[in-house]
Amino acid sequence: MPIALVTGGTAGIGAAFARALAARGYDLVLVARTSSRLEEFGAGLRSDGCEVELITADLGDPADVDRVAARLADTARPIDLLVNNAGYGMKSRISDPDIAEADDAIAVMMRAPLVLSAAVVPGMRERGTGAIVNVASIAGYLSMGLYSAIKAWMRVYSESLSNALQGTGVTVTALLPGWVHTEFHDRAEIRKSSIPSWLWLDANDLVASCLRDVDRGRAISVPSVRYRFLGWWLRHLPPRTIRWVSRKISSSRHRD
């Protein structure tokens, strides 16, 4: 059986990836911070016949990242697909003098994917097969604070790694979702009522679309026609216009 490792694998997009990959016949390694949620979610997958390994880890902690990296580098139980999904919406503003949340966000959503991908690539390249999915965001085309900057980095990093692995049999796909029905926005205290209903995506549909793009070896996966259309405009509008749009979105989406 092929094995997939999913970070942030117990809720939202990560859980949708876990279910979809289990349905495709993968055994799973799930990584998350909360042991109780891991056990509960893993038990459900095991009841459906999936082999599930659980790793409790805080990817903001370098020691925990190293433990997950060691699992990815284990040639006796090779990982065939890595999904770097762990992340969260940020409550602090980019101008805040307290950068504690910024430090953690950079560790979880930039450093951890970099370390984990570097750990899994040598084995994949040696076997001549494997895939990495990095969950970025359409927000990476906007200028809405540190979260946008981090997700822009994730997209460029993914494309760069894809280039570096061209011809090896290993693919890298950056997933660029928009607004998705998960608990992500509640945790970040984002006012969801300000977001038009037509912009919302279903996590299961999003993951199904992404996995089709992984099968095709695509470096970028943008789910749904409407987000591909929006993404095209965001890539081609003048930077001054993008900054104006970003200000309008930022002012409307945070709770008072």
Per this entry, what is the length of the chain?
A: 256
Cβ neighbours of residue 114 closer than 8 Å, sequence gap 6 or more: 157
Other beta carbons within 10 angstroms of residue 202's beta carbon come to: 14
137 exposure class (CB count in 10 Å sphere: 0-12, 13-18, 19+): buried
Is 227 marked active-site?
A: no
Q: For the chain, how are helix, strand and coil distributed in percent, rounded to 5? A: 55, 15, 30
Backbone angles phi, psi at 84, to 5 degrees: -85, 90
Question: Judging by beta carbons within 10 Å of its beta carbon (0-12, 13-18, 19+), is residue 239 exposed, middle or buried?
Answer: exposed
Catalytic residue among 26, 141, 147, 227: 147
| Residue at 112: amino acid letter | A
Active site positions, annotated: 147
